[in-house]
A = this chain, B = another copy of it.
């Protein structure tokens, strides 16, 4: 009955059995999506809320010059903005990275979920606040960190997020991101990203190869990144 989306929300606070059932029902007809498939494009009229049950996706913008900027990664359990339907058109696109299982929750159904289950609303608003915190961390990285720090910081973030949802246990986990995608996330060229990855490998901090990230020396990686996990808000406020 449970799925990754429900698991994630429950990590933000207890949900009633009815709430879980309602969520399960709302996400019970997911669609299989191939890799590299646009779920929605900039300029499109927003439709249902996308919920990633399996697989990774990413938000991005393409500039007139053709360059791309990755804005966020969606991992299993993540969803896009709850109230997306209030806007007339999308200001960015969302594309799958791996083959995925995507549930689509219509706007009336989403409103009902939020209205009838306070626990769901709280968990979803918390999730959205965390996503905003991640965006702020990205802005900070892009503005004020050197390239090697940016790379290390993103790897720390992705590792923690993956571990939070049970996608990583040891120091190794599956990271299905190409160097091109990572470069477009970090405001770098693929060439330079490649050199930075080598530098991190030679330094004994981490190795990214064949879709797997191996964190050889967590302390060193954290230190290079200047990483502070507070913005992921794992410690939530107790009591309402």
Contact = CB atoms under 8 A, between A and B. Distances in A.
A140 B71 contact: yes
Contacts of A125: 82-83, 86
Contact of A91 (B67, B184, B231): B231
Given A132-B81, A187-B143, A86 B138 contact: no
A126 interface: yes
Interface string A50-81: 00000000010101110111010000000001
A136 B61 contact: yes
Interface of A: 42-43, 45-46, 59, 61, 63-65, 67-69, 71, 81-89, 91-92, 122, 125-126, 128-129, 132-133, 135-140, 142-145, 184-187, 226, 230-231, 233, 235-238
Given A86-B126, A87-B233, A92-B136, 6 more contacts: A86-B125, A89-B230, A91-B231, A135-B136, A135-B139, A142-B142
22 contacts: A45-B237, A46-B237, A63-B144, A63-B145, A64-B226, A69-B143, A69-B144, A81-B132, A83-B125, A83-B129, A86-B129, A86-B236, A88-B238, A91-B136, A92-B133, A135-B139, A138-B139, A139-B139, A142-B143, A142-B187, A143-B185, A143-B186
